[in-house]
Copies of this chain bind each other. A is one copy, B any other.
Amino acid sequence: MMADGETARVRACLGGFRWHGLECRPYKEEGDAAFRNISRQILFDEPAQDCELRYFEMGAGGYSSLERHQHTHAVIVLRGRGQCLLGTTVRKVATFDLVTIPAWTWHQFRATDAEPFGFLCMVNRVRDRPQLPSESDLAALKSFPEVAAFLSS
């Protein structure tokens, strides 16, 4: 039942949203989702913790994949500003804004063309795989002019 400082850990930020000893990974390992100019660092992934905390960053003009799933996301922007598709709504978000993405909500993050955009994302350790939009899902989303403009930006 005892532990001490030997097993605790401080991981220093090196500046520029990189951390000591953490690999800057590809955004996705596999699959055919469309995404651009985005990386992933897993900040916390401990068996004793029921969630993981990841840092995603996209360069200017980058975007995450458009997807939905049963599990939810809790997001806090750490760097820059961008836009977020949430269902059929497009929202501007900036540093330290909070975004909750409920179950089965289509979502995508996009950086502006001017600067990098980065955010923390908390997610359950046990979760389902993302679902990508079918052609008919995309057509339905694009029937909303704001969403169509977002997806073609």
Contact, CB under 8 Å: A98 / B7: no
Contacts of A84 in B (CB 8 A): 10
Contacts of A50 in B (CB 8 A): 50-51, 124-126
Q: How many copies does the complex hold?
A: 2
CB closest chain-B residue, reference A147: B5
Size of the A side of the interface (Cβ < 8 Å), in residues, is 53
Contact, CB under 8 Å: B96 / A13: yes
Contacts of A78 in B (CB 8 A): 96
A76 within 8 A of B: yes
Contacts of A105 in B (CB 8 A): 3-5, 7-8
Q: For chain A, residues 26 to 50, give those with C-beta under 8 angstroms from any C-beta of chain B.
A: 43-44, 46, 48-50
B12, B49, B72, B91: the one within 8 Å of A49 (CB): B72
A49-90 to B contact mask, C-beta < 8 Å, 1/0: 111010000000000000000011010101000001011110
Contact, CB under 8 Å: B17 / A46: no
Inter-chain pairs besides A5-B89, A46-B74, A49-B74, 11 sampled, C-beta below 8 Å: A2-B104, A8-B100, A12-B97, A19-B96, A44-B98, A44-B122, A49-B51, A49-B122, A49-B124, A50-B126, A76-B120
